[in-house]
Amino acid sequence: MAKVKNFFKKVGLWFKNHAPSKRRLIQLYAALLVNANLKGYITGKIYTGNLKNLCSPGLNCYSCPGASFACPLGALQDSMAQTNDRAAFYIIGILALFGLTLARTICGFLCPVGLGQELLYKIKTPKLKKSRYTRVLSFFKYVLLAVMVIAIPLIYHGIPAFCKYVCPAGTFEGAGGLLANSNNAGFFAMLGNLFTWKFCLLVIFIVGSVFVYRFFCRFFCPLGAIYGFFNKWALIGVKLDEDKCVDCGMCIQTCKMDIRHVGDHECINCGECVSVCPTQAISWKGSKIFVKGAQLSSPAPVAETAAPLAAVLENGSAGSQPSVEEEDTAPIKVFPEEGADLPASELVEHSKTSAAAVLDSVTVEPRPEATTAASAAAAAPAKARRKFRGGVKGAGIKTAVKNPKFVVELCAWVCALALLIVMLVCYNLPEKPQDRVPDFTLKTYKSLASDGGEYSNNSKTHIKVIYFWSTDIEVSVTGMSEINKFYQNCRDEVEVVAIHCYYKDDRDVQSFIDEQGWNNYNITFAQDNMDVNIYSWFGGDISVPKPITAVTTDGLLHSKFEGEKDGAIVVPTADELFNMFAAAKRDTVFSVGDRCPDITLKTYKSAGTCDGEGNLTYEEFSTMESRGTVTVINFWYTTCDPCVAELPYFEKVRAEFGDQIIMVAVHSATAMPKGGAEGVQSFINSNGWNDYGIVFAQDTEEIACYNMLGGSGAYPTTVIIDKNGHISYFMDGPVEEDELRNEIAKLL
């Protein structure tokens, strides 16, 4: 039994000695909070909801599958690239808010990239000591800030240079997080020289962080450079009381960053210097905002009797960090009149000697209450000492509750955990399933679309419009012409069913349809009944009937129109119905075997779209107009290396088949170069593609042709449509020349 008790005591002692510090807990908490979209790692998709309009304080890539907020550095570059030289007030205001409240405390406590570097530094290897050289190198991040973050995005609109060419967070969190998911296997085809360059940089940053404390943070991070400007004025951070400071250099010796003094632009406000200051000259700014007179960090150990400061300087503090032999420092101006230019190792010794000589008579007086309490505890018996230390059951809790610092700290952690739980729940709740329309079969009336048999909603048509009407509701009768007008323009892409819903109607519905001339419409007219009651499923009330128009996609309710204007019930116009249909079409994925929807896109100038004088022979490409001819659609963008590499042999294959095929290269809507459409046209011309017989067209976010035809984020993507307008081939990634040729030949 004693051995078991001893074992658990050792285990408990181990956990106590290895328990994470409060700062480490805050770092872990912040990393999880800004990456709360855990299901993104499972689905391989990026969260793009409204909260992505907000920025996290630290560096955290927007494209990370788990990212719940935007990256402030990426947002800054993007805003400057897109605002045409106007000030990006929104993101600049956010950065200023972060800077004035926390500044580089964000680096020390809230940045996930900083946490990752600190964990890498814990790997036991020889460490590169800081020196005057690392201090000089620490200014390189300001060069990156000026050039990569500000200048290039402003000069070359649309190029977020730091994110695109340097940022390791984008490579590790964004690219790595997406590529690790099997759902994004097609993304590997997009990797080119740029990814190779960024991957090599990532390896350098990871290896560097093992040997150098916060390697990326100290030398390369522009976000830290921005926050460094605010360190002096921030509400939260460490501060130095110059009246108490004796220039002993213990704080700078302990610090692993390249600081010249406590709280300067290189200080990340980690607070490690607070506990090593022998005169308690270092404290936390802003602590009185939360608790009057509270200290947010442990003071330096105080002896029970007064001790000469020279002895403290000689022996160091009980909680001090590595000595100068373990962690070197650059020359420090401790006493300006002498020893200013000494090397680091000699300078600290000089500091101790000088401080001891000047302040030999100075003593560190313990606080009266601490001395009294310590003396009382020493004089009391063991049981009494246990009681004094809170060993008696209940005494510690009562004392803690009366401590303002404890109460504030407890409340802060409770609120923080509550926020984290809310975030995790909100981000990771399963998506609300769309309402699936139940299967139903109704009797039909005679029209061009039906012979008076039955209608079943399990037909293979992707998009359907269901219109509920009644002979006794005049607005539903007059609205039928708008329904028919819409259907005439979209006949091949949609199915329209007009369901008579008023069960107590004594009229002969078929005669009414014939009288209105609707029997010449190509619309299916059906009759609801009490057994099916499909009208009620769509929200209708048979006691107060009104027209309802619903659009469904693949058996799911997509949208519903129950219009009311000036207190009167209205039905959708043909244009309103078309907008509902267009939205449903954008959200529908058409795959191999489906009839390709009608897609109309603007074109660029090339031999495939211009006459001999360079004038556009047609300004739009339409999949409807290309029916009767095999059509090859290739999705690309200017900075996609595999896309650019395959278009020349696409032109070669097009030339071989001549007028038997139409080859269309559709540029992405989300990866526009500088200058927008003009930039794309310039790229086409500079590569000599304007002499190609390929039709170059432009996708838009409103049309979303890429998503509609099955694109999932990987480029290039190729779709082949047969003469009858059906999709016969789909490839997510580059296509080999012979494979392209063979797939086309099968359809001719």
Q: Are 732 and 714 in contact (CB under 8 A)?
A: yes
The whole-number pLDDT of residue 497 equals: 94
Gap between the Cα atoms of 266 and 258, Å rounded: 6
Banded model confidence at residue 377, pLDDT cuts 50, 70, 90: very low
Q: Which of 132-136, 376-380, 562-566 has the lowest mean pLDDT?
A: 376-380
Place of tokens 């004796």: 246
Q: Is the predicted pLDDT of residue 729 greater than 90, yes or no? A: yes
pLDDT tens, position by position, 95-139: 999 999 999 999 999 999 999 999 999 999 999 999 999 999 999
Between 187 and 197, where is the model more confident?
197
Gap between the Cα atoms of 662 and 416, Å rounded: 59
The mean per-residue pLDDT over the stretch 214-219 comes to 96
Q: CB 621: neighbour CB atoms within 10 A? A: 23
The whole-number pLDDT of residue 339 equals: 40
Between 84 and 81, where is the model more confident?
81
The whole-number pLDDT of residue 158 equals: 67
pLDDT tens, position by position, 467-496: 999 988 889 999 999 999 999 888 788 999
Q: Which of 409-413, 511-515, 650-654, 699-703 has the lowest mean pLDDT?
A: 409-413
Between 372 and 573, where is the model more confident?
573
The whole-number pLDDT of residue 221 equals: 96
Gap between the Cα atoms of 35 and 68, Å rounded: 5
Structure tokens at 219: 């030398």
Q: Is the predicted pLDDT of residue 527 greater than 80, yes or no? A: yes
Q: Which of 49-58, 151-160, 414-423 has the lowest mean pLDDT?
A: 151-160
pLDDT tens, position by position, 3-55: 777 887 888 787 777 788 889 999 999 999 999 999 999 999 899 888 898 99
Q: Which residues contact 682 (CB under 8 A, 6 or more apart)?
A: 675
Q: CB 4: neighbour CB atoms within 10 A? A: 8
The whole-number pLDDT of residue 23 equals: 92
Q: Are 21 and 412 in contact (CB under 8 A)?
A: no
Gap between the Cα atoms of 562 and 571, Å rounded: 7
DSSP string, 556-617: EEEEEE-EEETTEEE---HHHHHHHHHHHHHTPPP-TTSBPPP-EEEE--STTTB-TTS-BS
Gap between the Cα atoms of 322 and 351, Å rounded: 17
The mean per-residue pLDDT over the stretch 419-445 comes to 88
pLDDT tens, position by position, 294-316: 444 444 444 333 344 444 444 44
**Residue 326 backbone zone (phi > 0: left; psi -120 to 50: alpha; other: beta):** alpha
The whole-number pLDDT of residue 396 equals: 58
Q: Which of 126-130, 345-349, 366-370, 615-619 has the lowest mean pLDDT?
A: 366-370
The whole-number pLDDT of residue 319 equals: 40
Q: Is the predicted pLDDT of residue 446 greater than 60, yes or no? A: yes
Q: Which residues contact 644 (CB under 8 A, 6 or more apart)?
A: 636, 638, 687
The whole-number pLDDT of residue 137 equals: 95
The whole-number pLDDT of residue 240 equals: 92
Q: Is the predicted pLDDT of residue 202 greater than 50, yes or no? A: yes
The whole-number pLDDT of residue 308 equals: 46
- Percentage with pLDDT > 70 across the chain: 82
Q: Is the predicted pLDDT of residue 375 greater than 70, yes or no? A: no
Q: Is the predicted pLDDT of residue 608 greater than 90, yes or no? A: no
Between 192 and 722, where is the model more confident?
722
Between 59 and 312, where is the model more confident?
59
Average model confidence (pLDDT) across the chain: 83
The whole-number pLDDT of residue 300 equals: 44
Q: Are 601 and 697 in contact (CB under 8 A)?
A: yes
The whole-number pLDDT of residue 219 equals: 96
pLDDT tens, position by position, 84-107: 556 678 888 999 999 999 999 999
The mean per-residue pLDDT over the stretch 210-219 comes to 96
Reference 328, options 341, 312, 347; nearest CA is 347
Q: Is the predicted pLDDT of residue 354 greater than 50, yes or no? A: no
The mean per-residue pLDDT over the stretch 634-652 comes to 92
The whole-number pLDDT of residue 82 equals: 67
Exposed, middle or buried by CB within 10 Å (0-12, 13-18, 19+), for 25?
Answer: middle
Gap between the Cα atoms of 549 and 145, Å rounded: 55
Q: State the pTM of this model.
A: 0.73
pLDDT tens, position by position, 234-269: 999 999 999 999 999 899 999 999 999 999 999 999
Highest mean pLDDT among 44-53, 312-321, 536-545: 44-53
Distances (CA, A) of 235 to 95, 187, 240, 286: 14, 44, 14, 6
Q: Are 168 and 205 in contact (CB under 8 A)?
A: yes
For 260-310, what is the HEC assignment?
CCCCCCCCCCCCCCHHHCCCCCEEEECHHHHCCCCCCCCCCCCCCCCEEHH
Q: CB 714: neighbour CB atoms within 10 A? A: 20
Gap between the Cα atoms of 468 and 530, Å rounded: 15
The mean per-residue pLDDT over the stretch 530-556 comes to 88
Gap between the Cα atoms of 125 and 154, Å rounded: 42
Q: Answer whether the bond into residue 381 is a cis peptide, omega within 30°.
A: no
Q: Is the predicted pLDDT of residue 383 greater than 50, yes or no? A: no
Between 356 and 494, where is the model more confident?
494
Between 614 and 274, where is the model more confident?
274
Q: How far is CA 213 from the centre of its chain?
A: 27
Q: Is the predicted pLDDT of residue 591 greater than 50, yes or no? A: yes
Backbone angles phi, psi at 726, to 5 degrees: -95, 145
pLDDT tens, position by position, 162-177: 998 999 999 999 999 9
Banded model confidence at residue 156, pLDDT cuts 50, 70, 90: confident
Q: Are 503 and 533 in contact (CB under 8 A)?
A: no
Banded model confidence at residue 367, pLDDT cuts 50, 70, 90: very low
The whole-number pLDDT of residue 397 equals: 61
